[in-house]
Amino acid sequence: MSILVVGSVAFDTVKTPSGEVHEALGGSATHFSVSASFWSPVRLVAVVGEDFTDAHRQPLLDRKVDLAGLTTAPGRTFRWSGVYGDDLNSARTLDTQLNVFADFRPEIPEAWRSTPLLFLANIDPELQWNVLDQVHGAQLVAADTMNYWIDSKPEALKKLLGRVDILLINDGEIRQLTGERNLMRAVDAVRRLGPQAIVVKRGEHGVLVVEGERAFALPAFPLKAVLDPTGAGDAFAGGFLGYLASHGTAGDRDMRRAAVVGSVMASYQVEDFSLDRLKRLTHPEIRERYAGFEDLTRFKPLS
């Protein structure tokens, strides 16, 4: 089934200890879409400026991402610039130019309003709420957020969670949102706000998925070289939800396998800058790393 994603498309200028890129294609909706496209048809809703060319569209079209919801507004495309130090876990933002993104009011094309799986990437929770009102046909709603919205619009965010089935959030953010230092108690607190499933992204420490009373924890793939962590969380979300969409959203949905697939996609995402690794990624490589995760985590019963 199809996935609809609403989020940002941006030009990223990124410097890491391994190199740098200048105004490379990025943004949450971009990274999500390319990753999810390996699994399911993707519909992208975002806004870009007049400086966004056909050449910029091409990597998304190559992955058959449907761009009927990508609107062009007068002005320049959203730009972000950041630098990572030796600790690749977090970037220092050098510059943010919202440009056309500042006035983004997502309009969902009529034909897309019954898309079965909706992913609300990290944007203003009030806009996420508005998108939910439009996509009345969604059977499964997943959302991401970030520290900025937890700080500035906590009530709007908490209200939104009452309509969200799956929340994807990183470990620092879930502690910030709930005021709970203990991760499992933070997860419990979020579940009381609505989501049935919580996916805690822990960067180099992997991912924790809690659904009902069961928890699943997966370490990150131990890579010897991480070139650029930008987009890892979005690539994870793309693999996670892309896999769920490709296997239906019925009772047998397998969030564990989905979390491994998401981790596979994220592990490739960080092996190069921008979309460079996912552009050349193949399904045999995906299967190979999935098997790598099996080898990394398997152990025998206690004899």
Q: Which residues bind its own copies (CB under 8 A)?
A: 86-88, 181-185, 188, 202, 204-206, 208, 214-219, 222-226, 254, 256-257, 259-261, 287, 290, 294-303
**211 DSSP assignment:** E
Q: Which helix (H) or strand (E) holds 244?
A: helix 232-246
Q: Report the residue number, 109 or 248, with the smaller CB distance to its own copies.
A: 248
**55 — phi, psi (to 5°)?**
-60, -35
How far apart are alpha carbons 131 and 45 in whole angstroms?
Answer: 10
- Classified as helix, coil or strand, 122 is coil
The sign of the dihedral angle between the CA atoms of 269, 275, 277, 282 is positive
| Whether the Cβ atoms of residue 255 and residue 241 lie closer than 8 Å to each other | no
Radius of gyration of the chain measured on its C-alpha atoms: 18
Measured from the CB of residue 236, what is the shortest distance to its own copies in angstroms? 15
Please name the helix (run of DSSP H) or strand (run of DSSP E) that holds residue 157, with its range, or none.
helix 154-161
Cβ atoms 80, 25 nearer than 8 A: no
- DSSP string of 19-86, one letter each residue: EEEEEEEE-HHHHHHHHHTTTS-EEEEEEE-TT--HHHHHHHHHTT-EEEEEEE-SSPPPEEEEEE-S
State whether the Cα torsion 189-194-197-201 is positive or negative.
Answer: negative
